[in-house]
Amino acid sequence: MKLLREIGAGDTLVVVRLDRLARSVSHLLEVIEDLAAKGAHFRSLRDPIDTTTPQGMFSLQVLGAVAQLERALISERTKAGIRAAKAKGKLPGNPGIRQRWPEALAQLTEAQKAAYGRRIQATANQWLPTVRRMRPDHTWDDIARVLKQRGLDWTPERLRRAAKWLVSEHLADASLVRKSPPRLPEDRLMTLIAGIHSSNPELTLRDIAGQLERLHERTPRGGSKWSPSSVKNLLDRARRARLVEAAP
């Protein structure tokens, strides 16, 4: 859903009633979890759901318990159906997939690709801005480590695959997947610090130094401890190179 992709931190998604947003209780909870991950809230005008209030959060917890019961009941019914089918000599699942029919396999592949694309677009606003700022100057390993500091669990390979999909769908510039050029150690540190600063301009020099130490990045002189002055020197270089906006 395009609306969910565009919602950002501090926004509140308001619907008239729950069935205008979700197909089931489980689906509703997934949507609300995605909103919470973005720092956004949810409110239904005709239902007691408002995640900005304690009462609304309580109602959400009740819905969560209902969803858990719903999943358990569905699982039990599914298992009972499978047992009954096996007793009659029938095998569960899609017969076309079991027998490797080309048409069935092609449909399965297309469905998997479509589901993957929806997942990528739903989360792109969390990680894509950082990728755009840091590619192709930095490797996928560098970017994955920066994102991990922000609580986003991406592996380099998953990031590369997601970026390639966006480029193939003409949703991102091809420069994202261009091979990173060889760089001098200080140039690499400069662009890394620029990426960290651009991801969160509110960070102080000491905050950035702490992030670099947690990333196990060595200083230009090979040390393990970063000083704010070392960060400032490289950040000033990044500003002169127009990797970040000049300080006001």
User: What element of type H or E holds 3?
Assistant: helix 2-6
CA distances from 169 to 4, 176, 178, 179, 241 (A): 19, 13, 16, 19, 31
DSSP string, 188-232: HHHHHHHHHHHH-TT--HHHHHHHHHHTTPPPTTS-S---HHHHH
Average pLDDT of the segment spanning 29-46? 80
| 70 and 124 assigned to the same domain | no
Among 27, 61, 92, the domain-final residue is 92
Structural domain of residue 225, as residue ranges?
Answer: 185-240
State whether 167 and 194 are in the same domain: no
- At residue 248, what is the residue type? P
Q: Are 11 and 128 in contact (CB under 8 A)?
A: no
One domain, residues 169 and 126: yes
The pLDDT, as a whole number, for residue 93 is 60
Q: Residue 229 pLDDT > 90, yes or no?
A: yes
The answer to whether the beta carbons of residues 47 and 20 sit under 8 Å apart is no
DSSP assignments along 107-157, one per residue: HHHHHHHHHHHHHHHHHHHHHHHHHHHHTTTS-HHHHHHHHHHTT----HH
pLDDT in tens, 146-196: 888 677 888 999 999 999 999 998 989 999 998 877 666 777 888 888 888
- Give the residue among 228, 116, 111 at the shortest CA–CA distance from 165: 116
Number of domains in the chain: 3
Tokens 């699942």 identify what position? 93
CATH number of the domain enclosing 63: 3.40.50.1390
Asked, for residue 24, whether it belongs to a domain, the answer is: yes
Task: Please report the pLDDT score of residue 67 as a whole number.
Answer: 62
The Cα 55–Cα 234 span in angstroms is 49
Q: What is the DSSP letter of 39?
A: T
Residues 45 and 3 in one domain: yes
> For 3-12, 93-102, 223-232, which range has the lowest pLDDT when averaged over its residues?
93-102
Largest CA distance in the chain: 76
Q: What is the pLDDT of residues 190-207, one digit of tens each?
A: 888 888 888 788 889 999
Whether residue 248 is contained in a domain is answered as no
| 190 and 171 co-located in one domain | no
Instruction: Report yes or no: 208 and 193 within 8 Å, Cβ to Cβ.
Output: yes
Residue 104 has pLDDT above 80, yes or no: no
Per-residue pLDDT, 10: 84
Q: Is 246 inside a domain boundary? A: no
Write down which residue in 177, 202, 229 finishes a domain: 177
Q: What is the average pLDDT value for the chain, to the nearest integer? A: 80
Residues 67 and 109 grouped into a single domain: no
Let me know whether 86 and 138 are in one domain.
no
For the chain, give the percent of residues with pLDDT over 90.
14
Query: For the chain, how far is it from start to end, CA to CA, in angstroms?
Result: 38
Does residue 166 lie within any of the structural domains? yes
Q: Are residues 141 and 56 in the same domain?
A: no
